[in-house]
Amino acid sequence: MNQAFFDWQLLWVTLIKIGAAFALALPTGYITEREGHSAGIRTLPIVAIASCGYLLAMGAVASPDASGNSSRVLQGLIAGIGFVGGGAILKEGVNVHGTAIAASIWNTGAIGAAVAFGRYEIAVALALLNVITMKALAPLKQKMDGDRR
C-alpha cells in the first residue's frame, strides 16, 4: 500500500493502545472468570478494547474544535457500558449478585477510555485498584456474608 493511503506508524500506535487496554483489563477478567462469574476473561478485555477503539476512532474523525461531540460520544459509551454491566446483575429473592462484576465492567470501560486519551497513569491505577478490590477484599466480603447469616 502507498504511504499516502495507509499510515503504518498510526497502526502501531493504535495497536499498542488497544493492546494496553486489553492487558490492563485481563487480570480482572481472569479473577472474575476463576470465581465463576458470567463476565470474565473474554468480556472485560473486550469492553476495554471497545471503549478504547470507539474513542480512538472518534478522535480520528472529530475536528479539534468539536469538544461537544467528544463529550457526547463519551456519554454514550458510559451509558452503553452501564447497560452491559446491568446484565451481570442477578436478583434471587431478596439477594442481589453481580454488582461487583457490573462495576468491574464499567471500570474496564474507563480503563479503555483512559488509554485512548493517553492517560496511562489513570488506566494503570484503575486496573490495579480493581484487581486489589476483587482479590484482596474477597475474604473480607466472605466473612461479612457469613456474619449476616
**pLDDT tens-place string over residues 94-144:** 888 889 999 999 999 999 999 999 999 999 999 999 999 999 888 888 888
45 in a structural domain: yes
2 in a structural domain: no
Q: Domain range holding 100?
A: 8-148
Q: How high does pLDDT run on average in the chain? A: 88
Predicted pLDDT at 112: 97
Is the pLDDT score of 68 beyond 80?
A: no
* Beta carbons of 146 and 138 less than 8 angstroms apart: no
135 in a structural domain: yes
SS (H, E, C) 57-68: HHHHHCCCCCHH
118 in a structural domain: yes
Cα within 13 Å of Cα(19), Cβ side: 6
Predicted pLDDT at 92: 86
Picking from 17-31, 55-69, 105-119, which range would have the lowest pLDDT averaged per residue?
A: 55-69
Mean pLDDT calculated for residue range 2-17:
85
74 in a structural domain: yes
Number of domains into which the chain is organized: 1
The model carries a pTM of 0.86
- Please count the residues of the chain: 149
